[in-house]
Structure 1
Amino acid sequence: MVQIALLLFGAEFVRTKSKYLWFIGLLWGTLGALVFFDGLDGQLYFPLKTFGFLLMIESIVTLSVASSGAGAQKAVLYFKGVTFLFCALVIVINQKYSNLLLSVMFGFSFFIIGLFVGVSAWVVRYPRWQLNIFYGLVQMFFAFFLFIHNQAAVSFFLGFLMAGSGLNCLFTAGRARRIRHASSVFQLIQPQGTLGHREWTLEESAALAALAEKQTGLSGNMLIVHIWTPEGSAEHTPVSRPVINRYIAAVDEDGVISTGHAALEVPSLLYISLYPAEDIDRSPSEFFRVLKATQDNDVKGSFQPSYETEAADWCHSDRQVIFTNYNIASLSAFWQIYSRHEIYNLTYRNCSSSVAYALEAALEGVLSSRSKSWAHTLKIFFMPELWIASQVRKRALMMAWTPGLVMDYARALSAVVHPVALPWSQRMPWKWRYSHQQGRAGK
């Protein structure tokens, strides 16, 4: 989450404020450890009931204003409100049984996520995949810990997350020290081998950083993230597998696999859509082999010329996420360098990862004006959409970018970059209807 926030705030913010990351990371991690150990001695000091009521108030406010959200914001607000309300009700109803139920819920969630991360890392074999397997084992171990110690589920859950985010903040602070006057935040947060199985050269880094420092924004043009979902792009009706069809691939009745597609467009300026130059064998017998993100699975790639050409040859995208505030200089610099390497890898350098990295380059520094005030800076850090974006990005980097993950990532970032104009107090249903009626009366 911190890495995405620093990207949106830009290089100038990192140069002047990165020193505070050490203090924040150390303080937050220490508080997380204290909250975690508070539940071990049997005498819980954590105000569980108070936390539950505060969580309930937050969820009710969120659900009240969700209907007034625009596009992606509406879905994110409803998701947050329903999730928080359910957890709040479980906490408030009965403290003894709430701990038991929450420990089971959190435990199964961590176990499933940890197992999925470990298996995915073993199958895909990203660089440093062993570290991801270790991270998955840590999550599974914590799941068993919650099953056995259910006397303070909320304390253990919050403490574990806070300690982990504190360590991540310290790691980010260490990387932020590398930034200099002409450096780009985008390069600091990119995974190893964004350009393929190699690192950025000094010349490429200098070219990217020089253009990324230019003025942000572009009037009269939108940035559009196009998504062809696996279900929407399948030739025949796919077998109903909701989560798998959304985030991995859809299989139709004939056994043909559809992974969907993603592209990024700035009309009349650039179009980023990466395909393999020749079709990859995606039959069930070969699918697990080509999933490995190893260099022997690299094939020659091909960038499509325009959205119109691609839609005419195939079909129109069934989902779009639109940005009006973005850094065209940083995006153009990224594209000039990225397009030189026509390499395609089904999991390591595919259409979805190309769009995700291009979108991150396009959003560098777009919130720099809001970072001038500490109040606005803290407000952005506490936006639930920023947390959702970080979770989606984390899952994608541990496994692989897919069109479904790119769609969720773009929607969450859109909600951060283009927030609802009115504050929550002005977007209650009764005030919303009243202002709408007043507006119609004035016409």
Structure 2
Amino acid sequence: MVKLALLLIGPGAFRRQWSVLAMIGAVFVVLALLLALDISATVTDLTYAALGLVFVGNGLIGGLMALCAPVGVDRRFGLAKAAVSAMVGGLILAAPFQSDWALAILFAIALIVDGAARMTSALLYRYSGWWGITLCGLGEVAMALMILVEWPLPADRNAALCVGLFLGLSGWLLLRLGFLLRTLEDEAAILLLPVFSNRGWYDNAPVLIGEDPPQEHEHPIIVRVWTPAGSIGAPERRPLIDRYLAAVDQNGVISTGHTALELSPDLYISHYPAVEIEHTEQSFLTTVSSKPENDVAGRFIGSYAEEVASWCEADACVTFRTYSQRRLRVYWAGYRQDNRYNLTNRNCSVLVAAALDAALEGVLVSDSPWSRLVRLLLNPDLWVASMIRSRASSMTWTPGLLLDYARALANIVERPEQSWITRLRAALARRRRETPSLDIVAS
């Protein structure tokens, strides 16, 4: 979350105050140690209460916003994330009062599920640094087993261990970001920092001379998405899989969907393999690896009209009016020098996600950056967007993930000053307008 918040606010103000960011990280690490060593019951209870309330509040607001989403928008992802956030917050709040064994089971299940997902995606996609993600997944599973067997810590320390680990990792990230911002050159994008560029997705992040504040433009950025299920004739329904990964038609042919980014009148970002890859269920697993041997020649489509003529209309789009046109154009100019295409590491969605991040750097720049940072960290849309980024970095960007990410970002950057009460009222009013009414005619 912190990484995405700093990206949207921009590194300028935080570069000058890098020591504050590092100091906050150090405080988080100290709190984590206090929890782990059980030195102060008061500190433990206050930490549980604060962290639990943040998670519960985030879940409740996120759930309300998902329920009030426009007609036609898939609300399952937002509701699932909101439910998980509220459940985690409830567990943290209940930690001092619940039975140790019940909490141990719940925490262990969460660790095993997350660890197994990380290991599976790393072993499947084999991207650069996949072994590190695999080790992290193994570590989560090992921690779950230690919690269940109550070794080396007793059962009453399980909750403290999990909360302390969360705080410690967050603190370490803040410490690292603080020191990295200290050495970041004024011309360099924050996306060039190692914490962003571990997959090589931001190698073309812009290095600009002179100021380039994002502003509202007459022509919006339009993110166009062909979801897997929406871009295939008669898909076999597979919930979530055909929304976020791939859809299969009745003949066994697989569609992974597509994404593109358009900025009128002359910029269109769309990456395809030069020779269309025909996917079947038997061959699909052999092509998802990010290894260089799966690289193929690619081609860049010139316009949306050209794509529609050769395929079909996109079934979803998201618009952004506030962005940095210069950063977007510089990123695209660098990326298109290499037309290599890789299904899981250099695909259409990876390109559009990175281009969108480049265009939105500093879009929420403020004279009070710390106040803006706190408000962002309490914004459920930022939590959703951050979780999507995390899942994409351990797997890959897909059209379904990118669509949800773009919608969350649009909620954040297009109306940053709008209160949650105002947003909820507007969403409820929109739902009432868009829900078809039933005319009852007396016979």
State the TM-score, normalizing by the size of structure 1.
0.82
Q: Does 1:158 align with 2:163?
A: yes
Query: Residue in 2 aligned with 1:113?
Result: 114
Against the structure 1 CA distance between its residues 414 and 105, is the aligned structure 2 distance closer, same or farther, given a 3 Å change threshold? farther
Q: 1:175 aligns with which of 171, 180, 200?
A: 180
- Residue 53 to residue 280, structure 1, CA distance change in 2 (3 Å): closer
Is residue 76–residue 412 contact of structure 1 (8 Å, CA) maintained in 2? no
Aligned residue in 1 for 2:15: 15
Give me the whole-angstrom Cα distance separating, in 1, the residues matched to 2:280 and 2:374.
Answer: 49
| Alignment: residue pair count | 422
Query: Are 2:231 and 1:226 aligned?
Result: no
Match of 2:293 among 269, 293, 296: 296
In structure 2, the gaps of 5 or more residues are: 433-443
Shift of 1:105: 3.3
Partner of 2:419: 423
1:411 equivalent to 2:418? Answer: no
**In the aligned structure 2, how far is the partner of 1:390 from the partner of 1:290?**
27
| Counterpart residue number, 1:46 | 45
Q: CA deviation at 1:70?
A: 7.3
- Deviation sequence 1:239-269 (CA, Å, 0-9, x none): x322322222122232111111111111213
Q: Which amino acid in the other structure matches residue 315 of structure 1?
A: C
Match of 2:200 in 1: 193
CA deviation profile, 1:394-418 (whole Å, cap 9, x unmatched): 2211221111221222122222213
- 1:274 pairs with 2:271: yes
CA 1:45–1:233: 2 relative to 1, 3 Å: same
Report if aligned partners of 1:90, 1:102 keep a CA contact under 8 Å in 2.
yes
Query: How far apart, in 2, do the equivalents of 1:216 and 1:407 lie?
Result: 22
Amino acid aligned to 2:23:
F
Matches within 5 A, 1:200-279: 208-210=206-208, 213-238=211-236, 240-279=237-276
1:304-328 Cα distance to aligned partner (Å, 9 max, x none): 1111211222111112122121111
* 1:61-80 mapped onto 2 (5 Å cutoff): none
Instruction: Name the CA shift for 1:45/1:335 in 2 (closer, same or farther; >3 Å).
Output: closer
What amino acid sits opposite 1:194 in the alignment? W
Equivalent-residue separation in structure 2 for 1:127 and 1:142 (angstroms) = 25
CA gap of 1:237–1:373, structure 2 versus 1, over 3 A, is: closer
Q: 1:286 to 1:396 in 2, by over 3 A?
A: same
5 Å-filtered alignment, 1:114-129, equals 114-129=115-130
TM superposition shift of 1:145: 3.4
Asked whether the 8 Å contact 2:18–2:179 carries over to 1, the reply is no
CA distance in structure 1 between the partners assigned to 2:254 and 2:13 by the alignment: 45
- Cα distance in 2 for partners of 1:114, 1:182 equals 38
Aligned partners of 1:44, 1:147: CA distance in 2, in Å? Answer: 26
Percent identity, please: 32
Taking the aligned partners of 2:369 and 2:178, their CA distance within structure 1 comes to 20
- Is the 8 Å Cα contact of residues 18 and 176 (structure 1) preserved in structure 2? yes
SS in 2 for 1:379: helix
Which AA in structure 2 matches 1:132? I
1:190 maps to a residue whose letter is: S
Quote the Cα distance in structure 1 between the aligned partners of 2:186 and 2:5.
19
TM, length-normalised to structure 2:
0.82
Q: CA deviation at 1:143?
A: 2.5
Moved more, 159-168 or 171-180: 171-180
Q: Partners of 1:225 and 1:69 in 2: how far apart? A: 18
Amino acid at match of 1:252: D
Amino acid at match of 1:13: A
Measured in 2, the distance between the counterparts of 1:125 and 1:66 equals 34
Worse-matched range after superposition: 332-341 or 73-82: 73-82
Q: Distance in 1 between matches of 2:215 and 2:385?
A: 22
CA distance in 2, matches of 1:111, 1:315: 41
What is the distance in 1 between the residues matched to 2:46 and 2:114?
Answer: 28
Deviations 1:177-207 (A, max 9, x none): 3311222212222334337xxx66xxxx7xx
Matched, 1:283 2:280: yes
- Structure 1: gaps spanning 5 or more residues: 437-443
Q: Does 1:323 align with 2:342?
A: no
Cα distance in 2 between the residues matched to 1:65 and 1:127: 36
Amino acid at match of 1:269: D
Contact 1:348–1:400 (Cα < 8 Å) also in 2: yes
Cα shift at 1:427: 6.3
Residues 11 and 183 of structure 1 are in contact (CA less than 8 Å); yes or no, is this contact kept in structure 2?
no
In structure 2, relative to structure 1, the CA distance for the partners of 1:314 and 1:37 (3 Å cut) is farther
Distance 2:235 2:270 in 1: 25
Go from structure 1 to structure 2 and tell me whether the alpha carbon gap of 1:62 and 1:135 turns closer, same or farther (over 3 Å shift). Answer: closer
Q: Give the superposition deviation at 1:387.
A: 2.6
Q: Greater CA deviation, 144-153 or 116-125? A: 144-153
* CA shift in 2, pair 1:393/1:429, >3 Å: closer
**Structure 1 residues 103 and 429 mapped into 2: Cα distance closer, same or farther (>3 Å)?**
farther
CA separation of 1:123 and 1:76: change in aligned 2, threshold 3 A: closer
Is the partner of 2:218 in helix, strand or coil?
coil
Code of the residue aligned with 2:338 in structure 1: it is: H
Change (3 A) 1:349 1:212: farther
Aligned twin of 1:441:
none
SS at match of 1:224: strand
The answer as to whether partners of 1:263 and 1:271 remain within 8 angstroms in 2 is yes
Identify the range of structure 1 (374-383 vs 134-143) with the bigger mean alpha-carbon deviation.
374-383
